[in-house]
Amino acid sequence: KAGVTQTPRYLIKTRGQQVTLSCSPISGHRSVSWYQQTPGQGLQFLFEYFSETQRNKGNFPGRFSGRQFSNSRSEMNVSTLELGDSALYLCASSLGTGGYGTEAFFGQGTRLTVV
Amino acid sequence: GDSVTQMEGPVTLSEEAFLTINCTYTATGYPSLFWYVQYPGEGLQLLLKATKADDKGSNKGFEATYRKETTSFHLEKGSVQVSDSAVYFCALSVTGNQFYFGTGTSLTVIP
C-alpha cells in the first residue's frame, strides 16, 4: 500500500512569509500528527488531528496551525516565518483508534529553509 | 511530564561488533515504547516496539526489552553491519498518535 506522502519535499521561504505543508496519510488512517525536527531541539510534537479535529497539541506558538480534511489529508501552516522555523517537518500517520501501542508511519518530510 | 533520555552519540563501531544504545524514560501513565531508525534524507521507520513491561521487541537482529523497574528500553544488536549505519530514536507514546522522542543516536559502522 502507498505510504505517507508529504509535499513539497523542499521549500525556501523568506522571513515574514507564510507556508503551507501537506500530508496525505496511509489509506484508512484517520490520525495525522506533525513533528518539527531540528539539530538543536530534536523531534518535537506539534499537533495531532483525528477525524478533522485537533486531538493533541504541543508547545508551539500560535503561528503554527493545522487542519485535517474529510479524506484525512492534513495541512500545516506556519505564518510570519522566522529563521528559527527552518527545520524538517515530519508527518506521521496512524489508525488513531488502536490507542495503546499503535505505531505511526512517517513521511519523508518537508525541508523548510527560511532565509 | 513524559520524556525520553537517550545515549548521546555519535557511535562508531566496526562491522560485527556488539551494539547497545541506552534509553530511559519518564512517563505519567503506562507508555508504549518504540525504536525508530532514520536513514539519511528519509523519514523515520519503525524498528521495533513493546507495549507492556517485560515485553521484548525484535526486528532485523535488533532487540529491546521493556524494563519497568529501571524505566529503560535499551537497544541491542549482536553483530552490526555497515547497512545499520543510521540515526536511532527511542520514543514513547501514552496517548493517541503523540510520541516523545529522544535526541537520537548516530551510528556509523565501518568495514
pLDDT digits (tens, 9 = 90+) for B47-82: 999 998 999 999 999 999 999 999 999 999 999 999
CB-nearest to B98 from A33, A107, A109 is A33
Cβ <8 Å between A101 and B49: yes
Q: Which long-range contacts (CB under 8 A, 24 or more apart) does A41-46 make?
A: A42/B101, A42/B102, A42/B103, A42/B104, A43/A90, A43/B89, A43/B99, A43/B101, A43/B104, A45/B98, A45/B99, A45/B100, A46/A76, A46/A89
pLDDT in tens, A8-65: 999 999 999 999 999 999 999 999 999 999 988 899 999 999 999 998 899 999 999 9
- A17 Cα to chain B: minimum distance (Å): 25
Distance from CA of A44 to the nearest CA of B (A): 7
B34 vs A103: CB contact, 8 Å cut-off?
Answer: yes
